Amino acid sequence: MEKKPAAKKKQEPLAFKSPGAEEWRIFQVETDADRESKDKAASAKQSINDCLLNSLQMQNIVVLAGSGTSLGSVDGPSMWDLWKAAIGEKPSAEAKAVASTMNYNLDAKGADNIEAFLSHADAYLQINEDEKIKQFVQMCRKTILENCSNFLKVEKLKGHETFLHRLSRRRVRDPRLKLLRPSIATSALNEAASSFAGTYLLQDKLSMLHLA
């Protein structure tokens, strides 16, 4: 008997909430949606475009970028992918030993977070000398670096380049743009910034772009 393929999980529509608003506004609808829904989505999309355009005129701009910047069509790893690669879907014996030594509860809710695990390990190593934990942390970071680099392809980063290009178009007298991102899983932005800076970014604008 032929097995039917699993149904794809329906994705939530893209939405945004403007400053001061109480409700989220959907700006992405299906092509077969009714006219009213399409009109509302078009209005919401125009609102977010206006909001972003106005934000470029602000004197100070800070962008908070998380691991989601490397997901989607970029094909980067999720935080769960990195956890499985470094610790294991079922934690390895070595991971369990390290966690036990530094009192990290692998069974606690939300414990399968690689950033939380490594932050806990770093804090532990600040006050304890433990070569085994130090080596395990180094192995985890090396694994993460490999997983966050192998998927990078410049042709998939056009959206990232456009994002940085538009944000960097600032007046000379304004402070340079600050893009704050965690150390894990945002390599797509790093790659886009290096490629973009060398190809399109003018010398005076390059000094305004700062990856923190």
Residue 62 belongs to a domain: yes
Q: Are 110 and 196 within one domain?
A: no
Domain count, the chain: 2
Rounded to whole angstroms, the Cα distance separating 75 from 71 reads 6
Residue 2 belongs to a domain: no
SS3 content of the chain, % helix, strand, coil (to 5): 50, 5, 45
Question: What pLDDT is stored for residue 151 in this prediction?
Answer: 75
The answer for residues whose C-beta is within 8 angstroms of residue 48's C-beta and 6 or more apart is 16, 18, 25, 27
N- to C-terminal Cα distance for the chain? 56
Q: Are 130 and 143 within one domain?
A: yes
Question: What pLDDT is stored for residue 199 in this prediction?
Answer: 40
Question: What pLDDT is stored for residue 211 in this prediction?
Answer: 41
The answer for residues whose C-beta is within 8 angstroms of residue 177's C-beta and 6 or more apart is 61, 63, 167, 168, 170, 208, 209, 210
Q: Are 58 and 163 within one domain?
A: yes
Question: What pLDDT is stored for residue 53 in this prediction?
Answer: 79
**What is the helix (H) or strand (E) element at residue 26, kind and residue range?**
strand 25-26
pLDDT band at 186 (very low <50, low <70, confident <90, very high): low
Beta bridge pairs of residue 180: 64
What confidence tens digit (pLDDT) does each residue in 15-31 have? 778 777 788 888 777 77
What confidence tens digit (pLDDT) does each residue in 74-133 have? 777 888 899 999 999 999 999 999 999 999 999 999 999 998 999 999 999 999 999 999
Q: Are 159 and 65 within one domain?
A: yes
Q: Are 104 and 122 within one domain?
A: yes
User: Residue 33: is its pLDDT beyond 50?
Assistant: yes
pLDDT band at 55 (very low <50, low <70, confident <90, very high): confident
Residue 139 belongs to a domain: yes
User: Residue 148: is its pLDDT beyond 60?
Assistant: yes
| Domain span holding position 201 | 53-74+152-211
Q: Are 88 and 126 within one domain?
A: yes
